[in-house]
């Protein structure tokens, strides 16, 4: 049975209206949906049309939520879907909103990947592999990630960024023996996503040199602690345990032997 729209009144919220059927409040509606269906006072309406209006209005409200979410920063398709799922469990509505956003290029995972890679290159922190897995964790297609890295993270960029990080990491581990400083620098560069080839080239080009006096002082400081810790051992056993510990810490074997000799001569 058909009924008639007898009143349409504006809500306080701009672009929103209340629809009355047979002088009874029926449902809210957005301006966009009103225009789409040419809704007007006196219009006859059946249950099918009523359901279509309500359904499209729900989609329109969900689209508004999406626009608000996207207005602050770039978002991935998956991030947007997850956000919309907070507002509805209607998968069909979410799909329709997502498709509309993609058509309008308001969400585009390739653009997101491109922007992310360019930003990371400028920050000079993460290497390409790390960038790849960060984007993959955001459920971006691997081919899109590879395209972004190929286009915006050149081998020259990787070499420059790797060198910058190598200098920072080497300085960070200044309380370690020189050998261990180099090893820790390499390990951390690998964790940051730089390739072994680029890491080794960067380290070689930087040509780090040990501070001989600083290394001797460091050996004495750590050697004294280890020597005292091994006081429960006697003679050769104490010397061997101390030597092994200092060697594992990366100190030069000749410097270690000199330290052990000085300790034994002082007994």
Nearest to 4 by CA among 54, 57, 58, 50: 50
114 and 185 together in one domain? no
63 and 84 together in one domain? yes
Tokens linked to 261: 């000799």
Radius of gyration of the chain from Cα atoms? Answer: 34
Query: What mean pLDDT, rounded, does the chain reach?
Result: 93
pLDDT category at 170 given cuts 50, 70, 90 is very high
Most confident range, picked from 161-170, 213-222, 253-262: 161-170
> Which residue range(s) make up the domain with 220?
212-265
Q: What is the pTM of this model?
A: 0.79
183 and 250 together in one domain? no
pLDDT per residue as tens digits for the range 30-60: 998 999 999 999 999 998 999 999 999 999 9
Number of domains the chain is built from: 4
54 and 12 together in one domain? yes
Of 103, 133, 164, the residue that ends a domain is 103
pLDDT per residue as tens digits for the range 232-262: 988 899 999 999 999 998 888 888 998 998 8
DSSP 112-167: HHHHHHHHHHHHT---HHHHHHHHHTTT--HHHHHHHHHHH--HHHHHHHHHHHHH
């Amino acid at each position: 049975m058909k009924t008639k729209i007898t009143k349409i009144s504006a809500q306080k919220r701009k672009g929103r209206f209340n629809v009355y059927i047979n002088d009874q409040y029926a449902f809210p509606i957005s301006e966009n949906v009103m225009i789409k269906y040419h809704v007007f006072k006196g219009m006859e309406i059946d249950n099918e049309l009523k359901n279509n209006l309500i359904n499209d209005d729900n989609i329109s409200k969900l689209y508004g939520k999406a626009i608000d979410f996207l207005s602050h920063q770039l978002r991935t398709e998956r991030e947007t879907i997850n956000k919309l799922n907070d507002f509805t469990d209607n998968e069909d509505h979410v799909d329709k909103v997502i498709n509309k956003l993609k058509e309008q290029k308001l969400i585009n995972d390739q653009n997101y990947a491109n922007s992310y890679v360019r930003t990371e290159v400028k920050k000079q922190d993460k290497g390409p592999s790390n960038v790849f897995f960060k984007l993959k964790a955001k459920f971006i297609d691997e081919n899109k990630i590879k395209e972004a890295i190929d286009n915006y993270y050149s081998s020259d960029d990787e070499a420059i960024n790797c060198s910058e990080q190598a200098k920072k990491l080497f300085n960070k581990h200044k309380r370690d023996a020189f050998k261990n400083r180099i090893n820790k620098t390499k390990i951390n560069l690998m964790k940051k996503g730089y390739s072994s080839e680029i890491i080794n080239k960067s380290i070689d080009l930087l040509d780090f040199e040990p501070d001989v006096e600083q290394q001797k002082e460091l050996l004495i400081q750590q050697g004294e602690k280890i020597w005292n810790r091994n006081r429960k051992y006697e003679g050769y056993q104490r010397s061997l345990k101390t030597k092994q510990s200092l060697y594992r810490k990366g100190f030069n074997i000749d410097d270690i032997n000199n330290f052990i000799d000085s300790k034994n001569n002082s007994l």
